[in-house]
Amino acid sequence: MLRKNKNYTGAIRNFGKAINLDPKHEAAYFYRAEVFVTLKKYQEALSDFDVTIELNPKFAHNYFGRGAVHHILGPDGHLIIPRLWPGQNPPATAC
């Protein structure tokens, strides 16, 4: 609910509380990573996606999330695509 209301700070705080209570709570890491992406905190998102992969290496969405962040950052870890996530439009390209 906090994510839908765009209370991202509250969402991060609550996902963190869930993680503190259960460090193997994959969904809490996953959704916190999504919030980090929304806030353009890409390194934090990568860290959380890495944990989701450690916890559940057979869940494709975990790899997709990490891959999307790597795509945004580019091979050298610098931002190359300003927006690429649900609810955000990709940059316009010249035709």
pLDDT at 93: 45
Under DSSP, the state recorded for 23 is T
Give the CATH number of the domain where residue 61 resides: 1.25.40.10
- Asked if 12 contacts 35 with a C-beta cutoff of 8 angstroms, the reply is yes
pLDDT (0 to 100) of residue 95: 40
Q: What is the DSSP letter of 91?
A: P
CA 50/CA 53 separation, integer angstroms: 5
Domain residues for the domain of 29 are 1-95
Please, what are the averages of pLDDT over each run of 10 residues along the chain (95 residues)? 77 96 97 94 95 95 92 75 53 45
Q: How many CB atoms lie within 10 A of CB 1?
A: 8
CA pair distance 63, 74, nearest whole angstrom:
16
Q: Please state the domain count of the chain.
A: 1
pTM assigned to the model: 0.77
- Our measurement of the distance from residue 42's CA atom to the centroid of its chain's CA atoms, rounded to an integer in Å, reads 7
> What are the two backbone dihedrals, phi and then psi, of residue 26, each rounded to the nearest 5 degrees?
-55, -45
Q: What's residue 89's pLDDT?
A: 52
